[in-house]
Amino acid sequence: MAESAAPAASAVSDAARELTGTWTCNGSIHGPGGASPSKVRFEARLELDKAWLRTDFVAVSGEYPYKFTSYRTFDSTARTWRNVILDNMGGDATSSSTDGVTWVGESTGPMGRMKIQDTEHLVSPGMLTLRGQYSMDGMSWNTGYDLTCEK
C-alpha cells in the first residue's frame, strides 16, 4: 500500500511546489447580470498529511461575491487527478483531470445540475490563468470566471 501511495504523494507534491502560495488574480466573474470586472485571491497549500492540495478561491472585489474551496489528489492507479469543490452558494462539484490543467466534471447548486470544465494553466513561474465554464446541456458552454493571476 505504501508503494502505491508514493507516486500519488509525489504528484501532489510536484503540483504543490508550483501552486503553493497566494495569487492575486484579475479578470471577470460572470453572473446573472453578465461579466463583472473582479479581483480574486487564489491560495494553494498541502493539507491532510500532504495527501491533498487545497485551493481557496475568493472574490475580493466585483459584483459577484463568489468563493470556493477545493481539494485535489492524484490517483496513481487510475493515473487521474480527482477534485472536490464546495462553494458559498451551497454548490458542490467533482471533477477529474489527466493532465492537471483541464478539469471536467459535474456540479450541483442553485442553477441545478450542470457539466463543468475548469482550466488552470501555469503559464510560467508566478503566472497562472484560471477559467471556469459550465453547461446545462453538455453542448453550449458559458463562462463562470476568466482570470489571470500573479504570485
Q: What is the DSSP string of 21-78?
A: EEEEEEEEEEETTEEEEEEEEEEEEEETTTTEEEEEEEEEESS---EEEEEEEEETTT
Q: What is the pLDDT of residue 6?
A: 56
Count CB-CB contacts under 10 A for residue 91: 16
Count CB-CB contacts under 10 A for residue 133: 18
Q: What is the pLDDT of residue 66?
A: 95
Report, as ranges of residue numbers, the positions in the chain whose pLDDT lies below 70: 1-9
Q: What is the pLDDT of residue 13?
A: 86
- Dig out the grid coordinates for 117 from the structure: 470544465
Short-list 118, 122, 98, 119, CA closest to 106: 118
Q: What is the pLDDT of residue 2?
A: 44
Q: What is the pLDDT of residue 132?
A: 97
Q: What is the pLDDT of residue 75?
A: 92
